[in-house]
Amino acid sequence: MALKAKYCSQCGALTEMQIIEERSREVCPACGTVFYRNPLPVAASVVLNAERKVLLIKRRNDPYKGEWCLPIGFAELDETIENAARRELKEETGIFGQVVRLLDADSVLSAFYGDLLIVSFEMQKVGGVERAGDDAAELAYYPLEVLPQLAFSSNYRAVQACIKAHEDEWAIQDSFSRLHEDDGNRLLSDALVTAIEDHAEQILRLWLEEVASNPSTPSYHTLDCYQLLEKATSQIAHFGRWLRTDQADEEVRAFWMAIGRERKAQGVPVYELLSALTLLRKHLFNFARRQGVYERPIDVYRVLELNRRIVLYFDKTMYHAIKGYAQG
């Protein structure tokens, strides 16, 4: 804790404790100077690399010598807290940083320093080369999920706040990177695929109403509606599995080639077959688009990702349907 002011710094008289503004404070009875005690401002930086690892330093000096923490240090007079964070980052790690966002402000009572106000920023590296300096004995980038014991609890708060700030961004990046894989990894749009499967009958009845009246599909106006609904329901029943893995390619090929042959036998022109498939694709996408409230970029991405998957899937179905039609 900070030492009390025994003598007045203005006139040298002995100070005494008085209740000022509902707090006990040191006051000079001679000249009336009130000594206000404020927490020491401290700036810390969270720096992530491209692998989503966080930069930590091992402390060279007490307190907490030999323990790991974020680049951290006291703000000086005539220095903004952001500039203090940048300066400490450069002194301790050798890199130049640019403030991305404020992450956390935490009040801490330190047995060594007294009351601290630790303000943590996310910093983007914009220059320099990593090297341990000033109060840092070592430095290293650590995976966010396996951090070492940190000297300051506020550092944990700052790291967690940084993870939270990137949550949607990283989820989008990870889902996008898996978009063309066939190893069963989940995608953000999988929930919408499940919703389509669960509401297949509702979607298909809307599609059936349109193909039975749309001027681009006149031949469908005379086809058996129940048979169309049965075929389409069979397709949607397998929609999720067909969409999620390339291992179902043979089933997709066989199903849609049979549809192509069947439509040719029914006298449906090939362009009407394509129009009917396009209308089905539209109804699937429109249903998915209506499923959420688009408050965050991740909500928009989820629908756009599904649209991309649907487009790729229907490219495949149209190819097989036309091939079956040609062979029919």
- Distance (Å, whole) CA 118 – CA 125: 21
Confidence at residue 210, expressed as pLDDT on a 0 to 100 scale: 94
Per residue in 245-257, pLDDT (tens digit) is 666 788 888 989 9
Among residues 133, 138, 134, the alpha carbon closest in space to that of 58 is found at: 138
DSSP category for residue 20: E
Among residues 151, 116, 156, the alpha carbon closest in space to that of 137 is found at: 151
Residue from 16, 76, 138, 209 carrying the catalytic annotation: 138
Q: Give the tokens for residue 55.
A: 């930069």
Confidence at residue 3, expressed as pLDDT on a 0 to 100 scale: 62
- Kindly list the structural domains of the chain, giving each domain's residue range(s) and its CATH number in brackets, ordered by start: 1-37 (2.20.70.10), 40-167 (3.90.79.10), 190-327 (1.10.490.70)
Query: DSSP characters for 79-125?
Result: --HHHHHHHHHHHHHSEEEEEEEEEEEEEEEETTTEEEEEEEEEEEE
- Low-confidence residues of the chain, pLDDT below 50? 1
Active site (annotated) includes residue 92: no
Helices then strands, each counted (H, E), the chain: 9, 10
Confidence at residue 183, expressed as pLDDT on a 0 to 100 scale: 53
Per residue in 185-202, pLDDT (tens digit) is 689 999 999 899 889 889
Distance (Å) of CA 156 to CA 43, 92, 161: 14, 19, 8
Confidence at residue 261, expressed as pLDDT on a 0 to 100 scale: 96
